[in-house]
A and B are shown apart, each in its own frame.
Chain A
């Protein structure tokens, strides 16, 4: 059912015409490119991006139809996009982690039942209704995945990166987590227990990474700055500022 519908969506008259126009423009772009030096890759990239893709045209057509039917207001779409591009993201989760690092009472409550302590910092809502925080220690390393789709704690981490939603990560994280971690630059000793959390139900997970040595004098705000998104998914460790810059 879904397949045949998709096929029909892909062969719409209007869009085919639009795509033909776009292709003509693209062709001109390529001619122009050919006249430039081959090393001018940035310029070529720019040329290609000025041409709307077929999917962009199809999405635009759908939005126009829904707006004309008064089923959605473009301003509310702008607001959703703005929220996830600019307001909700891993900085939120980093504040939760930093608070747990400096406040042992907060950390204890966070590990017991995370939803309320996270809400105290202002983070909750869609895909953050039932939060569980799992703690990395010298002997336990936690890794979060959603093998079935892309479940991810939006309020604390924002929308997931492409690799998290990709087939390689979803397929491999549960069967060879140490191999995946190695590719991210995390080498674990054999005596460390790896715990993989597959977010199959309504619970969403946040990893509480280990606080690195040498950060004893840092403030909570400074600590939040060194906590990365990847460390809260569990594919990275947090490095102190002096050692930072290595891709963690």
Chain B
């Protein structure tokens, strides 16, 4: 989706502000949110858990920019738990589990997916090879995609084939578009191709990983 999360090349966001001796978590609740997000995914099996990235990208732009990083994680986790009926609004209001609701069932892990990894051990021939010139398709899907806007319609050069990965893109409801295993490549774009005269040097380049579905031969 053409959301606020797809920030590459935008202006007006201000200076980068590093924090000396930054702690891993600034407040205890941030650590709890991170840990909860890491540990709750198993409860999404067999349920409409949806893509975590799509969930975050669907936060309205003004809210997305206002929220801190772990506030976005928390929002996404709560939305998923409510959507799958694993918790209710009333439970979150009261801060206690409703004793009259049955305990949720943990569904078994799917056997055809290797522990959540996106790598696929299947035989798919590559459409592109290293050094080949490619043209990025001008795609604007409404769902989650790993294709940054600033690369769409641009020309680049394949520099490496990373092997076969499941496509992570989703439809507009956050459901993955099938497993669709395919080669993922690193594609090199010159800074001039992406940014025109704004590029500081003819030497500079941006390297972006691309699923094969994003590419056409140049």
Interface centre among A5, A148, A247 (most CB of B within 10 A): A148
- Across the interface, B24 reaches (CB within 8 A) one of A62, A77, A85, A192, namely A85
Check A175–B8 contact: CB distance below 8 A: yes
Q: Taking the complex as formed, is B13 at the interface, i.e. its CB lies under 8 A from any CB of chain A?
A: yes
Q: Which residues on the A side are within 8 Å of B5 (C-beta)? A: 148-149
CB-based contact B59/A150 at 8 Å? no
Count contacts between A and B, CB distance < 8 Å: 263
- B78 contacts A62, CB within 8 Å? yes
Q: Mark B187-218, 1 if CB is under 8 A from A, else 0.
A: 00001001100101101111111110000000
Which residue in A64, A126, A198 is a CB contact (below 8 Å) of B206? A198
Interface secondary structure of B, over-half rule: mixed
Residues in chain A within 8 A of chain B (CB atoms):
1-3, 5-6, 8-9, 12-15, 53, 55-56, 58-66, 68-72, 76-78, 80-81, 84-85, 89, 126, 129-130, 132, 145, 147-150, 158-159, 161-163, 165-180, 183-184, 190-203, 230, 247
> Are the CB atoms of B82 and A65 closer together than 8 Å?
no
With a cutoff of 8 Å between Cβ atoms, the chain B residues found around residue A14 in the complex are: 93-95
Q: Which residue of B lies closest to A89 (CB)?
A: B24
Q: A72-B40, A167-B65 are in contact. Are A5 and B184 (CB under 8 A)?
A: no
> How many Å lie between the Cα of A195 and that of B204 in the bound state?
6
Q: A85-B24, A129-B119 are in contact. List 17 more A-B contacts (CB 8 A).
A: A59-B32, A59-B36, A62-B36, A71-B40, A71-B43, A80-B38, A81-B34, A148-B6, A163-B17, A165-B69, A175-B8, A176-B200, A177-B204, A194-B204, A200-B210, A201-B146, A201-B184
Taking CB atoms, residues of chain B closer than 8 Å to A64 are: 95-97
B89 contact set on A, CB distance < 8 A: 8, 12
Nearest CB in chain A: distance from B205 CB, A: 6
CA distance A5 to B88 in the complex (A): 12
Closest to B31 in A: A81
Q: State whether A69 and B205 are in contact (beta carbons under 8 Å apart), knowing that A84-B24, A163-B19, A203-B162 are contacts in the complex.
A: no
Chain B interface residue bracket vs A:
35 or more
Q: Is B91 an interface residue (CB 8 A)?
A: yes
Selected contact of A62 from candidates B87, B205, B210, CB within 8 Å: B87
Within 8 A of A (CB), among B46-97: 53, 55-56, 58-60, 63, 65, 69, 71, 74-79, 81-83, 86-87, 89, 91-97
Do B16 and A168 touch across chains, with their CB atoms under 8 A apart?
yes
Min CB distance B207 to A, Å, is 5
Query: Is A202's CB under 8 angstroms from B118's CB?
Result: yes
A195 and B208 contact, Cβ closer than 8 Å, known pairs A9-B92, A167-B7: no
B16 touches A166 (CB 8 A): yes
13 contacts across the A-B interface (CB closer than 8 A): A9-B78, A12-B93, A55-B74, A126-B38, A159-B34, A161-B19, A166-B13, A171-B10, A175-B150, A195-B206, A196-B207, A199-B209, A200-B147
Determine the chain A residues whose CB is within 8 A of the CB of B91 once the complex forms.
65
Report the minimal beta-carbon distance from A132 to chain B, rounded to whole angstroms: 8
B189 to chain A, nearest CB (A): 9
B16: contacting residue among A72, A180, A202, CB under 8 A: A180
- Assess whether A3 is in contact with B33, with CB atoms less than 8 Å apart: no
Considering only CB atoms, which chain A residue lies closest to B88 in the complex? A65
Collect the chain A residues with CB atoms within 8 Å of residue B86's CB. 69, 71
A158–B23 alpha-carbon span in the complex (Å): 11
* B contact residues around A60 at 8 Å (CB): 29, 32, 95
- CB contacts (< 8 Å) of B75 on chain A: these are 2, 5-6, 9
Once the chains bind, are A175 and B63 in contact (CB under 8 Å)? no
B58 and A63 contacting across the interface, CB-CB below 8 Å: no
Chain A residues with CB under 8 Å of B93's CB are: 12-15
What 0/1 pattern do residues 9 to 23 of B give for CB contact below 8 A with A? 111011111111011
Q: How close is B181's CB to chain A, nearest CB, in angstroms? A: 12
Q: What 5 pairs across the A-B complex have the smallest Cβ distances? A: A147-B8, A201-B209, A68-B97, A80-B35, A61-B95
Do residues A69 and B198 form an inter-chain contact, with CB atoms below 8 A?
A: no
Whether A56 pairs with B28 at a CB distance below 8 angstroms is yes
Which of A53, A130, A199, A247 gathers most chain B CB within 10 Å? Answer: A130
Docked complex Cα distance between A68 and B59 (Å)? 29
Instruction: Kindly provide the distance from the CB of A53 to the nearest chain B CB, expressed in whole angstroms.
Output: 7
Partner of B200, one of A71, A76, A178, A201: A178
Q: A6-B79, A53-B27, A69-B104 are in contact. Are A200 and B208 (CB under 8 A)?
A: yes
